[in-house]
Amino acid sequence: SAVISQKPSRDICQRGTSLTIQCQVDSQVTMMFWYRQQPGQSLTLIATANQGSEATYESGFVIDKFPISRPNLTFSTLTVSNMSPEDSSIYLCSVEPGVNEKLFFGSGTQLSVL
């Protein structure tokens, strides 16, 4: 199993600013995933964060907008850069400790951009 501490839990930000979201896992995991959940929508994968290499981004998401750090096997950050109201969403980190194990999620960051 895995316990993920994600923060902040929520924030209200001004347009044009950046917010960094942190996730700390209580065990070492190879890959961490970052998702976005817009209101009334399903979870959409932003990128996969690999320790020791650059993150792998999904179509529609770019590193300049969502830079990711993965300094070790228990920690990752996602930055939402140059925010606009369209970035208002819930952002979630997730890990899969073993193949075909459960996906464990952080508690989410509710972001509102004014």
Partner 1 sequence: KNQVEQSPQSLIILEGKNCTLQCNYTVSPFSNLRWYKQDTGRGPVSLTIMTFSENTKSNGRYTATLDADTKQSSLHITASQLSDSASYICVVKNSGTYKYIFGTGTRLKVLA
* Interface contacts to partner 1, rule CB under 8 A: 4, 6, 9, 40-45, 92, 94, 100-108, 110
Minimum CB separation from partner 1 for residue 16, in Å?
26
Q: Is 23 exposed, middle or buried (0-12, 13-18, 19+ CB in 10 A)?
A: buried
**Closer to partner 1 at the Cβ: 66 or 104?**
104
Q: For the chain, state the CA radius of gyration.
A: 13
**Closer to partner 1 at the Cβ: 9 or 17?**
9
52: Cβ contacts below 8 Å, ≥ 6 apart: 70
Minimum CB separation from partner 1 for residue 66, in Å?
17
**Closer to partner 1 at the Cβ: 43 or 73?**
43
Given a contact cutoff of 8 angstroms between Cβ atoms, the answer to whether 85 and 114 are in contact is yes
Q: Which one, of 24, 90, 33, lies nearest residue 56 by Cα?
A: 33
Minimum CB separation from partner 1 for residue 101, in Å?
8
